[in-house]
Amino acid sequence: MSDTIPLVESTTTSSASTLLLFGTAFIIAVSGIVWLVLQKQSAAISTKNLALASGTSVAALQSSKKRNNTVLITGPMGAGKTALWCYVRFPENKAAPKTQTSMAVNSAEVKVGDTDICLVDVPGHQKHRFDRDAFLPVARGIVFVVDSVAVSQNLTSTTELLYDVLANKHVQQKETPVLILCNKQDDPSALSNLRIKSMLEEEINRLRASRQADLGSLRNVGAVSGAGNNDDDDDEAAAEKASDFLGYDGKRFSFEDLPNAVQINESSMAMNMDIGGTEQINSWIIELFN
């Protein structure tokens, strides 16, 4: 009589495998849910950070994005961005506002003429570049404030900030108008807007050559070190190289070569020195919505 082989061990093994599969699937599902929750929380925190100061709620900022009415004030530290923000927000206040280097984003709903806008002032410190980049896709217009007194000493860092704004893919795709505001013209040592325009164009010309050389070097390193098919990487590098280039290849840079309108004005936020004044700035803002 033949012996019957018990199936207990086989059944036990099969059950264990099934439990293992279910357990793995459960862990994956839970991990996915946790990831989604964290992503939503991260997005909510980011939006909340962008709505800091001046009593602007998260809902109001989100609404301004939907209405496409955001005017972004950006530029290097100490250029007078917050003073400009105060002047535009509180036009009835004729005294020069006492401000200090901003540590957070200023945002407020402001009426300029008959136009309701969301006026945003982003600090010039490097740690706030993420905040600036978060607003660039929704900006109807950009005011880049330059310190007309210190621009010679801070030319490279100022131009790098301006280059990042002008070369931003959203700014280029939307052809967002840019107002370069040469501030502090009440100071006797301030440079004129024409002089600053020439300096910025010369520095952008130098900077774009340097950036293209760096991108080219990275592409060559990737081609040498990478294994297999590098066509996708090459295409991506070429696209990045093209999008980061301002103006025309083989021609010295000029703001007139950009697809978006770039205007360069003078201003002063000092008391009784309304050079170029908020009226001119307000007129520029109103034109954005006409």
Q: Which is nearest to 96 in space by CA: 184, 203, 189, 37?
A: 184
- The answer for residues whose C-beta is within 8 angstroms of residue 81's C-beta and 6 or more apart is 73, 74, 75, 102, 121, 122, 123, 124, 145
Ramachandran area for residue 283 (φ above 0: left; ψ -120 to 50: alpha; else beta): alpha
User: Which pLDDT score is estimated for 1?
Assistant: 53
Confidence grade of residue 56 (pLDDT, cut at 50, 70, 90): very low
Show the tokens assigned to 177: 């108008």
**Do residues 141 and 71 make contact, with C-beta atoms less than 8 angstroms apart?**
yes
For the entire predicted model, the pTM comes to: 0.71
Give the residue, 141 or 237, on which the prediction is more confident.
141
User: Which pLDDT score is estimated for 119?
Assistant: 93
Residue 150 has pLDDT above 90, yes or no: yes
Give 276's DSSP letter: S
Residue 239 has pLDDT above 80, yes or no: no
Confidence grade of residue 118 (pLDDT, cut at 50, 70, 90): very high
Q: Which residue has the tokens 């770039």?
A: 262
**Do residues 208 and 166 make contact, with C-beta atoms less than 8 angstroms apart?**
no
Q: Which is nearest to 105 in space by CA: 139, 69, 132, 77?
A: 132
Mean pLDDT of 167-191: 94
Query: CA 40 to CA 33: how far, in whole Å?
Result: 11
Summarize pLDDT for 10-50 with one digit per residue, the tens: 555 666 677 777 777 777 766 667 666 555 554 444 445 54
Residue 236 has pLDDT above 70, yes or no: no
